[in-house]
Amino acid sequence: MKRRTFIAGLGSVAAWPVAARAQQGDRMRRIGLFLAFVENDPETSARVAALIERLRQLGWVDGRNMRLDFRWIGPVFDIDRYRAHAADLIGLAPDVVLAGGALG
């Protein structure tokens, strides 16, 4: 009887990591986007829409299981502006940060 209790206990301990991963999946994920584009540019809007659609196809929906945090820094190089927006974005503690821009 003690052996069965011990083996049953081992089985439940082995299942803890699986349960922990399942619970972690319910957490809202944050994606930070640090973009050197103008927010209302039509080409930029199309790219962002394509990203959002692809994330949706993969099961990631903004406001449901993940959140997109945008920081639009524009195409003009201003190191103080970049630093301020970067610090603001990192302060939100995103799970991942995507950065993009055009080569000038």
pLDDT value of residue 26: 76
Between 25 and 70, the higher pLDDT residue: 70
Between 87 and 104, the higher pLDDT residue: 87
Q: Which of 66, 64, 72 is nearest to 96 (CA)?
A: 66
Beta carbons within 8 Å of 95's beta carbon, 6+ residues apart: 29, 30, 31
**Phi/psi zone of residue 63: left (φ > 0), alpha (ψ -120 to 50 degrees), beta?**
left
Whole-model pTM: value is 0.69
Confidence of residue 104 (pLDDT cuts 50, 70, 90): low
Contact status, residue 66 vs residue 28, Cβ threshold 8 Å? yes
Indicate whether 19 pLDDT > 50. Answer: no
Give backbone dihedrals phi and psi of 76, rounded to 5 degrees, phi first: -85, 130
Q: What architecture does CATH give domain 28-101?
A: 3-Layer(aba) Sandwich (3.40)
